[in-house]
Chains A and B, each alone.
Chain A
């Protein structure tokens, strides 16, 4: 499926974080196919350069960065503006530490997931808004939450889900705060997606019982998340802000 979207993305730059991950690769490709210049960000040592080398169009840019270093954020958007006028941030970077049980969760697990998933979302989003405000152009931020923001998850994943609850709340608050300078903020809430993050530590039995709860009866392919992200980032979604797009195959209906 090729997404060709000329609604405010052609010739502008888009920052994608977590771009070397399962969903990140599809999102990065979809933006490139839509005619955007992509700044693809992932951790040092990740195959981010290979991801970017395979993209159509361009020029694009691969950036290695640890987003926990908050001082790195401003320069990401400066680099984006050097490539083309910055239009949108798709913030996918997140970490899931699925503990065996709730008793196994350590303070370090808590801190890492809250810092990467929630703290970074705030500071990176604020930095993206500052770059757009300085340029005087409208733009969009698309955050990634999880359907666990609503359910709370279970057992060893509750901390991850709490962090995603924070991301959802933050998305709503930033949407109100940034609307004044024309920046929309929305979130995508995936259910089960066929990625290494989903499948790691998941037994075939656990996966089967998970799928039994999904009306569509399958996991999402990563491309099926990319459509929602590109749509929300584009001008086609110009009246959509503060919203959470539920992409769960019907597992959750709220």
Chain B
């Protein structure tokens, strides 16, 4: 897939060391972007700037984004893929566990957006894509209250950014994936019987959609939540 809008643009992929984020990084490198991958873990994704960054720590995020700006230039593309997924029965979910899910998935996206958007506003161009989830719509098929609530928050944050930054040529969209086969989401194979297309999704399929939304071809799409779930959630 050859998309316009990546050549020499700087892209930041949070949570880019593995899973969906890494697939996104690889596509954007192939499309000609200068890519920075951030992750809480140390990472070594070839062909890009690897930045260890804890999205829950505002100072750490500001330092990480500053380093990306000085080494690669101002970001034009931001993909918010950092996230954690915990299956915990509601009554067994501790406040600490709840807070961690919200801190990484929702507040983390807030910190990163706040550090990155001024650069896009100044340039008059930007593409922000956040990983939401169908669990942010339904609450989730398993015991994932904190995850579902955090992803609902991410999708609302995405829309708020879309409205506030539209005058600056910045689009902001979210994906609502479901049943994607990654290390993060284990034990979902049993749900495959409920997927109309009869299989789980692959990280590369999500990355293709993200790449499209980050391209110049998607310039009139903003504030949208795009479902990618093989028909698992048609609503």
A240 touches B217 (CB 8 A): no
- Interface residue? B63 (CB, 8 A): no
A236 touches B208 (CB 8 A): yes
Q: Which of B10-18, B50-58, B138-146, B198-206 contacts A (4 or more CB under 8 A)?
A: B198-206
Q: How many A-B residue pairs have CB under 8 A?
A: 133
B171: chain A residues at CB < 8 Å are 216, 250
A225: chain B residues at CB < 8 Å are 220
A250 touches B197 (CB 8 A): no
B2 touches A241 (CB 8 A): no
- Interface residue? B127 (CB, 8 A): no
Query: Can you list, as one digit per residue, whether each of A235-254 has a CB less than 8 Å from chain B (1) or not (0)?
Result: 01111111111111110111
B162 touches A250 (CB 8 A): yes
A215 touches B2 (CB 8 A): no
Which residue on chain A has the smallest CB distance to residue B215?
Answer: A227
Which residue on chain B has the smallest CB distance to residue A1?
Answer: B4
Partner of A250, one of B2, B208, B223: B223
A1 to B202, CA, bound (A): 29
**Contacts A1-B217, A3-B217, A5-B2 given; does A247 touch B208 at CB 8 Å:** no
- Interface residue? A228 (CB, 8 A): yes
A246 touches B197 (CB 8 A): no
A241: chain B residues at CB < 8 Å are 196-197, 230-231
Partner of B227, one of A1, A5, A224, A243: A243
Which residue on chain A has the smallest CB distance to residue B162?
Answer: A250
Which residue on chain B has the smallest CB distance to residue A173?
Answer: B234
A216 to B124, CA, bound (A): 12
B206 touches A172 (CB 8 A): no
B3: chain A residues at CB < 8 Å are 3
- Interface residue? B95 (CB, 8 A): no
**Contacts A1-B217, A242-B227 given; does A6 touch B1 at CB 8 Å:** yes
A254: chain B residues at CB < 8 Å are 225
**Contacts A216-B222, A224-B219, A231-B217 given; does A175 touch B196 at CB 8 Å:** yes
A215 to B223, CA, bound (A): 9
Query: Can you list, as one digit per residue, whether each of A8-33 has a CB less than 8 Å from chain B (1) or not (0)?
Result: 00000000000000000000000000
B4 touches A236 (CB 8 A): no
B220 touches A216 (CB 8 A): yes
**Contacts A176-B231, A240-B209, A241-B197 given; does A220 touch B162 at CB 8 Å:** no
- Interface residue? A47 (CB, 8 A): no
Partner of A249, one of B198, B205, B222: B222
- Interface residue? B163 (CB, 8 A): yes
Which residue on chain B has the smallest CB distance to residue A178?
Answer: B196
A237: chain B residues at CB < 8 Å are 205, 208-209
Which residue on chain B has the smallest CB distance to residue A254?
Answer: B225
B231: chain A residues at CB < 8 Å are 175-176, 179, 241-242
Separation in Å of the B211 CB from the closest CB of chain A? 8
- Interface residue? B87 (CB, 8 A): no
A4 touches B221 (CB 8 A): no
**Contacts A224-B220, A250-B162 given; does A243 touch B196 at CB 8 Å:** no
Which residue on chain B has the smallest CB distance to residue A176?
Answer: B196
A220: chain B residues at CB < 8 Å are 220
- Interface residue? A201 (CB, 8 A): no
Separation in Å of the B223 CB from the closest CB of chain A? 4
**A–B Cβ pairs within 8 angstroms, 13 of them:** A5-B2, A180-B196, A182-B197, A226-B217, A228-B221, A236-B205, A239-B230, A241-B231, A242-B196, A247-B220, A247-B221, A250-B222, A250-B223
